[in-house]
Copies of this chain bind each other. A is one copy, B any other.
Amino acid sequence: MLSDRQRQILQIIIEDYIATAEPVGSRTIARKYNLGISPATIRNEMSDLELLGFLDQPHTSAGRIPSSKAYRYYVDSLIKPGSLTPNDIALIDNWYKERVRNIDDIFQSTAKILSRMSKNVSLVLANKETTSKFSYMRFLPLNEHQAILCLITEDGQIDNCVVEIPLGMQQDELDYLARNITNKLHGMNLDTIDSEVLHDAHQEIQGDKMLFSSLLKAVTQMQQGQKKEKMFLGGTKQLFNQPEFQDANRIKELLGVLEEEQVLKDMLNAGTNSGLRVTIGSENTFTGIQDCSMIQATYRLNGQVVGTLAVLGPTRMEYKKVISVMDYLQKYMHVVFNKMSEANK
């Protein structure tokens, strides 16, 4: 529906605006880019593009800036999948080598490098929703009155809580008890164990309420530990170097959004189905970021969603670059994760 020339002009305007943050005028285009047509012709095309809703004009004597519709068209139809420069690739590779010790480090490092390369805020959500299977339990002695109740899953996770020993109960009785309960629960998915399932165990404990509630507490604690979502933010300061966020009130508003961890989580979880998701300006349903764009990608391991990466910035964002970076990071995380699980074997 757009002519080749219109597409060309639109792309130039978008990319020039992304680079300079200044409205783009017809003369600028004619001067900077060699299209072989005069400013007047460009003006006519721009006028048409504005009617079609692709361009906005801040005021009569300013150049044009791209509308949300233009960015959408740009992302969907104009961008060709680019690749990173060798420099960028080397930067990322070294980045991880120096920093990664455990899983949290991976997410943390990813947040940092992502914000650094995108010059915007990065959000990394670690979904630790893994469903492990219950293996066995033990009471480790502590003192006369207390013991440590340990739950162990088949994949080697362990959780514990301190319990009161019923008066007069000996360690061998506790061991017996642990064995019996273990027999009942062994091999069960951790998240299917609830107070009802534990009811059988209750009989083992012969109605000792304290012991039972401790057991329940340890189980739910472990379940929650598994479900935990962790959010890593990077580059808040950088975001406020963007020329669109130089106003104190705007900064405060954005800070408000970034402080609400739950809102951020909701935002990231809203688009976990597709591979890569770009939400542009007014497409955002969350208040406070309607002049922002967000690019997010989920990262899966063995089919399970392990994390979500996202970059949040002004609609005037380097979509091409950010998308390439996220693409690469997605692949890279795979490698890093595999290395890590190798190391744990």
Contact = CB atoms under 8 A, between A and B. Distances in A.
A225 to B, nearest CB: 13
Per DSSP, chain A at the interface is mixed
A341 interface: no
Interface of A: 135, 138, 140, 142, 146, 148, 150, 152, 156, 158, 160, 162, 236-237, 240-241, 245-248, 251-252, 255-256, 259, 344
Contacts of A160: 158
Contacts of A156: 142, 146, 148, 162
Greatest chain B CB density within 10 A among A156, A237, A247 is at A156
Contact of A142 (B146, B148, B152, B251): B152
A259 B111 CA distance: 14
A240 B251 contact: yes
Top 3 A-B pairs, shortest CB-CB distance: A156-B162, A246-B248, A158-B160
Contacts of A138: 140
Contacts of A247: 248
Given A152-B140, A158-B160, A344-B162, A237 B259 contact: yes
B256 A237 contact: yes
Nearest to A160: B158
B158 A148 contact: yes
A248 to B, nearest CB: 5
A166 to B, nearest CB: 16
Contacts of A237: 252, 255-256, 259
Nearest to A249: B246
Contacts of A240: 248, 251-252, 255
A219 B236 CA distance: 36
Nearest to A241: B252
Contacts of A344: 162
A162 B160 CA distance: 15
A54 to B, nearest CB: 31
Nearest to A246: B248
Contacts of A248: 240, 245-248, 251
A181 to B, nearest CB: 16
A158 B146 CA distance: 13
A31 B251 CA distance: 39
Contact of A251 (B140, B158, B251, B259): B251
12 contacts: A135-B142, A140-B150, A140-B152, A140-B158, A150-B150, A158-B160, A162-B344, A237-B255, A240-B255, A248-B251, A251-B252, A255-B255
A193 to B, nearest CB: 19
A324 to B, nearest CB: 27
A97 B54 CA distance: 55
Given A150-B158, A247-B248, 10 more contacts: A140-B158, A142-B156, A236-B259, A237-B252, A237-B256, A237-B259, A240-B251, A240-B252, A240-B255, A251-B251
A80 B259 CA distance: 37
A162 B152 CA distance: 11
Given A237-B252, A246-B248, A248-B240, A148 B152 contact: yes
A245 B252 CA distance: 11
A160 B246 CA distance: 49
